[in-house]
Amino acid sequence: MKEIRAVVFGLVVVILVAAALAFWRRPAPEFSRVKGFKVEVKEREGDSTHRVTFSVPSNLVARVAKLSPIHSIGGDIRADWEGDVTPQDILSAAAESAPGRPGVIKKDDKTIEVVAQGTALDITIRDDWGKSVQLRVPRAIVESFSGDKDITTKEILRRIDELGPGDVVVVKDGDKEVTITAEPR
């Protein structure tokens, strides 16, 4: 009798594990163009370069985002955050940009260049010390932080997918570089 209970219990565990794997492995409906995100960290020391690369599947990003207790993102960063540059400043610079000519924001030792490309914003931040950050973000996310409208996590994922394959974030600090690239399906 104990053997039968053990076999039944084992089958139930196997079925639950198979169901969980099927749930986690099925493609996320928010991502139709992006298969995953490759993260690459490089550091140069003298003549050698150390490199670490790993991938994060898009369905994992979508599942984690859906598990988060945040249902929508928005607000007025000017009121909620004491920063030098507001989302409205970024949107204004994007409106001033033209093909081949970015909108420029100068704050202290930082230069922020913004180029509007359809529904995306290419943002490059540089300081006087040689550090730079390049971001490619959906315009809707910046608008949600400007207080204009809220955006759901599902909508954020869909907008990131609309950016398509390519570099999403590049951070350079001297001999160190971190790149996050959206990989095509």
Partners of 138 in beta bridges: 120
Partners of 39 in beta bridges: 54, 180
Condensed to tens digits (0 to 9), the pLDDT of residues 26-76 reads: 667 778 888 889 999 998 888 888 888 888 888 878 877 777 666 555 554
- Residue 80: pLDDT band (50, 70, 90) is very low
Mean pLDDT calculated for residue range 155-171: 85
What is the pLDDT, as a whole number, of residue 185?
A: 84
What is the pLDDT, as a whole number, of residue 1?
A: 61
How much is the mean pLDDT over the chain?
Answer: 79
Mean pLDDT calculated for residue range 70-95: 66
% of the chain surpassing 90 pLDDT: 3
| Gap between the Cα atoms of 67 and 61, Å rounded | 10
